[in-house]
């Protein structure tokens, strides 16, 4: 059918939505142009709702109208129609509907590979790709498709990749031509984001200068090698430099939405008040001196004392609240807090932020001028594909009060640019790493925008991609995706390297004292470690108290039964399903790997219960049960290895820095899995 697209306004977001819709229509065999018997009109109509809300209505048999409360709303409506067209829906069957944005702030956390917070091969190998605007075009398309509207770019000190500071010219080590090339990159990136309805923020850590300035003037000397832990240089020159960099970046990049600040790195030895005052005197003062307003992401203090290890206190929260409410910056200030520290893919209950538990000081009484934004850090699921819609829905339901503006989703230990994980001869139809994890981004983004998005909408995308088997693949992946959530709920973790759930690693755990020579999470550590989720019961506590728990508590036997049930169902769904096509083949392998990991954890938990009972009761039958369960666990781990070896390389993993060559694959830990059997045999 011939169809024309009519824009009610000249706006880059509308033009972008129209262009994406045109591509979908053309790929479905429609001819887009004028004149045509069918019309799709894209119109801004503020009465429709908020700026990101949209409504699709039929205005006669051959006219569809997309109305949005603002340009972004119209764009999302156009992208929704494009989804329908790609799924094979006929133009005369396009359904009337409307959607409203649940949160105004739906962000990706993206760590930059230049002067990155952490250093390692798995981060620095992305430098060329992340400078490529083709990568950003694809990434921002994904963000728009999934309704993310904020791109936050994180680095220790990005400013001198953007400007030559007027009073500190030696801080930028590039030639004028090189700097001009960087300027074109940043300007183009911010423009690409803007036309997709995406705001852009630079978030840095404090207190740093450029390596060139550190070497030239001896200021903040630790900046020369990116050393981020310890005391900082609070001299007047560093303050002046920071303040002027902030002002100059805002003035020279009108497409940049705002900045973010951190009460953290290189602020060792400072009290919370001194850290807040330093930031007000530098970053906030620099923002106010700029020629235009810029928005602020204000990270909650990482420490309530003078140390840098992480702590919380009501007094610090009240002080920070008062400081933010007095800042007189464009509202709202987005206050970032790490949900369950570095392991948001765990329990939907808020147990801790960076440093420990929170009081209600930030939201009682209701805040003025700021809103909370939860940081859903993902340091647990970097290889296998993941998606569990009910987890995200429950997360939003439990933590989406009026004081909450939205979420960040992203990682400190992983940059989703170069796919360095997949075996080169098993690459599918993806070009970049984030495209492998398409379902991860779709689940988080679509549900942060509209939490009532049904499972049927996600299953439909699997069917569109993979045909009839897609529905079973969707269900199997959801079942398997519960496994890392359950492990991270059972095993309380804090900072990045205290848990890597998909690999059963706890290389920097402060927990059990049995097996610290290995980063692998042994049965001893599983027995002794505290739980994160308040509804979970540890193995030690369960054995000590007996089976006297409430029906709503997750005891180790109930956990093992749930894991086994989901693992077996996932394998049954995919029984006999194979594919020589690498994109589908790799998805199938991931689903089966999760299923076997679920069965592995089920047997490990049962083995841990039996082993602890032997240690308490000294009944040899319990020891025999422990050995039997852990022997069956070995077979499940070997199945994980069989599923993943054809698809995944032995690849660098930041969690394993300092452990051998720092690389990961499940095959490398078969010996540790066997050691659990020996531990049980020894009692």
pLDDT digits (tens, 9 = 90+) for 324-346: 999 999 999 999 999 999 999 99
* Section 111-117 average pLDDT: 94
Check residue 284 and give its pLDDT.
97
Nearest Cα neighbor of 484 from 363, 614, 385 is 385
Residue 237 lies in a domain: yes
| DSSP-based three-state secondary structure for 164 | coil
- Residue 437: asked if its preceding bond is cis (omega within 30°), the reply is no
Report whether 335 contacts 370 (CB < 8 A): yes
Residue 392 lies in a domain: yes
Are residues 644 and 621 part of one domain? yes
* Section 78-105 average pLDDT: 96
Are residues 148 and 36 part of one domain? no
Distances (CA, A) of 383 to 122, 433, 461, 647: 13, 10, 21, 10
Residue 461 lies in a domain: no
Domain count, the chain: 3
Check residue 512 and give its pLDDT.
41
Residue 344 lies in a domain: yes
Claim: this prediction has a pTM higher than 0.75:
yes
Q: What angle do CA 579, 440, 422 make, to 5 degrees?
A: 50
CA-to-CA distance for 360 and 469, rounded, in angstroms? 47
Check residue 264 and give its pLDDT.
86
Q: Among 99, 123, 141, where does a domain finish?
A: 99
**Tokens 């508590």 — which residue?**
553
The encoded tokens of residue 281 equal 């005197």
Are residues 111 and 31 part of one domain? no
Q: Three-class SS string for 339-370?
A: CCCCECCCCCCCCCECCECCCCCCCCCCCCCE
Are residues 73 and 188 part of one domain? no
pLDDT digits (tens, 9 = 90+) for 396-431: 999 999 999 999 999 999 999 999 999 999 989 999
Report whether 495 contacts 342 (CB < 8 A): yes
Percent helix / strand / coil, the chain, rounded to 5: 50, 15, 40
Residue 595 lies in a domain: yes
pLDDT digits (tens, 9 = 90+) for 594-635: 999 999 999 999 999 999 999 999 999 999 999 999 999 999
Check residue 61 and give its pLDDT.
85
Are residues 167 and 36 part of one domain? no
Check residue 516 and give its pLDDT.
59
Query: For residue 492, is pLDDT > 70?
Result: yes
Distances (CA, A) of 91 to 28, 42, 371: 11, 15, 41
pLDDT band at 60 (very low <50, low <70, confident <90, very high): confident
Q: What percent of the chain has pLDDT over 90?
A: 94
Range of the domain at 358: 105-453
Are residues 253 and 203 part of one domain? yes
Q: Among 412, 432, 453, where does a domain finish?
A: 453
Check residue 35 and give its pLDDT.
86
Residue 474 lies in a domain: no
pLDDT band at 510 (very low <50, low <70, confident <90, very high): very low
pLDDT band at 308 (very low <50, low <70, confident <90, very high): confident
Average pLDDT, the chain: 96
Are residues 361 and 280 part of one domain? yes
Q: How many CA atoms lie within 13 Å of 154's alpha carbon, on the beta-carbon side?
A: 24
Residue 445 lies in a domain: yes
**How many Cβ atoms from other residues are within 10 Å of residue 368's Cβ?**
11
Check residue 514 and give its pLDDT.
45
Q: Among 75, 99, 123, where does a domain finish?
A: 99
Cβ-based neighbours of 497, under 8 Å, separated by 6 or more: 379, 507, 508, 654, 655, 657
| DSSP-based three-state secondary structure for 39 | strand
Assign residue 34 the CATH number of its domain.
3.30.379.10
Are residues 225 and 159 part of one domain? yes
H/E element holding 297?
strand 295-299
Are residues 110 and 82 part of one domain? no
Residue 469 lies in a domain: no
| DSSP-based three-state secondary structure for 40 | strand
pLDDT band at 546 (very low <50, low <70, confident <90, very high): confident
pLDDT digits (tens, 9 = 90+) for 362-384: 999 999 999 999 999 999 999 99
Assign residue 315 the CATH number of its domain.
3.20.20.80
Are residues 266 and 163 part of one domain? yes
Are residues 416 and 305 part of one domain? yes
CA-to-CA distance for 491 and 574, rounded, in angstroms? 30
CA-to-CA distance for 243 and 267, rounded, in angstroms? 17
Q: φ, ψ for residue 64 (rounded to 5)?
A: -115, 135
Are residues 674 and 561 part of one domain? yes
């Amino acid at each position: 059918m011939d169809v024309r697209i009519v824009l009610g306004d000249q706006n880059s977001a509308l033009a972008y939505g129209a262009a994406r819709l045109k591509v979908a229509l053309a790929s479905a065999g429609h001819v887009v142009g004028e004149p045509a018997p069918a019309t799709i009109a894209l119109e801004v109509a503020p009465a429709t709702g908020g700026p990101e809300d949209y409504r699709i209505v039929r205005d006669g048999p051959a006219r569809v109208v997309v109305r949005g409360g603002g340009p972004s709303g119209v764009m999302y409506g156009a992208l929704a129609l494009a989804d329908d067209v790609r799924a094979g829906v006929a133009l005369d069957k396009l359904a009337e509907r409307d959607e409203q944005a649940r949160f105004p702030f739906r962000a990706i956390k993206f760590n930059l590979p230049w002067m990155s917070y952490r250093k390692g091969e798995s981060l620095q190998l992305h430098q060329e790709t992340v400078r490529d605007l083709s990568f950003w075009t694809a990434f921002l398309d994904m963000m728009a498709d999934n309704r993310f509207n904020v791109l936050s770019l994180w680095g220790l000190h990005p400013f001198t990749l953007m400007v030559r500071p007027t009073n500190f010219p030696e801080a930028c080590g590039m030639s004028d031509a090189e700097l001009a090339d960087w300027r074109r990159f940043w300007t183009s990136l911010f423009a690409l984001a803007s036309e997709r309805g995406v705001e852009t923020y630079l978030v840095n850590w404090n207190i740093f200068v450029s390596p060139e300035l550190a070497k030239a003037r001896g200021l903040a000397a630790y900046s020369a090698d990116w050393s981020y832990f310890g005391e900082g240089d609070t001299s007047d020159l560093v303050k002046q430099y920071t303040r002027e960099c902030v002002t100059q970046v805002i003035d020279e990049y009108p497409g940049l939405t705002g900045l973010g600040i951190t009460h953290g790195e290189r602020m060792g030895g400072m009290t919370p008040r001194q850290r807040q005052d330093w930031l007000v005197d530098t970053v906030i003062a620099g923002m106010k001196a700029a020629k235009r307003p810029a928005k602020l992401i204000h990270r909650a203090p990482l420490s309530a004392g003078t140390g840098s290890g992480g702590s919380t206190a009501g007094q610090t929260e009240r002080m920070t609240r008062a400081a933010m409410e007095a800042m007189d910056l464009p509202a709202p200030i987005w206050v970032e807090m790490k949900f369950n520290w570095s392991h948001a893919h765990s329990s939907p209950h808020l147990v801790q932020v960076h440093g420990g538990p929170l009081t209600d000081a930030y939201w009682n009484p209701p805040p003025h001028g700021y809103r909370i934004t939860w940081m859903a850090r993902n340091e647990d699921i970097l290889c296998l594909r993941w998606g569990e819609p009910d987890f995200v829905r429950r997360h939003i339901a439990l933590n989406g009060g009026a004081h909450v503006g939205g979420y960040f989703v992203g990682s400190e230990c992983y940059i989703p640019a170069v796919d360095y994980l997949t075996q080169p001869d098993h690459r599918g139809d993806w070009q970049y790493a984030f495209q492998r994890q398409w379902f991860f981004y779709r689940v988080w983004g679509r549900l942060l925008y509209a939490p009532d998005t049904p499972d049927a909408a996600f299953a439909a995308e699997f069917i569109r991609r993979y045909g009839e088997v897609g529905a079973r693949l969707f269900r199997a992946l959801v079942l398997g995706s519960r496994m890392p959530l359950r492990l991270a709920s059972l095993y309380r973790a804090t900072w990045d390297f205290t848990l890597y759930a998909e690999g059963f690693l706890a290389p920097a755990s402060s927990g059990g004292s049995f097996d610290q020579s290995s980063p692998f999470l042994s049965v001893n550590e599983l027995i002794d470690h505290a739980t994160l989720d308040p509804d979970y019961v540890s193995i030690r506590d369960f054995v000590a108290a007996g089976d006297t728990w409430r029906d709503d508590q997750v005891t180790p036997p109930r956990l093992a039964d749930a894991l086994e049930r989901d693992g077996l169902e996932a394998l049954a769904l995919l029984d006999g399903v194979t594919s020589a096509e690498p994109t589908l083949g790799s998805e199938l392998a991931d689903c089966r790997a999760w299923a076997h990991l679920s069965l592995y954890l089920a047997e490990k938990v049962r083995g841990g219960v039996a082993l602890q009972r032997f240690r308490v009761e000294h009944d040899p039958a319990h020891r025999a049960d422990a050995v039997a369960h852990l022997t069956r666990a070995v077979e499940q781990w070997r199945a994980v290895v069989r599923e993943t070896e054809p698809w995944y390389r032995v690849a660098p993993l930041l969690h394993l820095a300092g452990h051998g060559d720092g690389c990961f694959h499940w095959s490398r830990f078969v010996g540790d899995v066997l050691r659990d059997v020996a531990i049980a045999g020894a009692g």
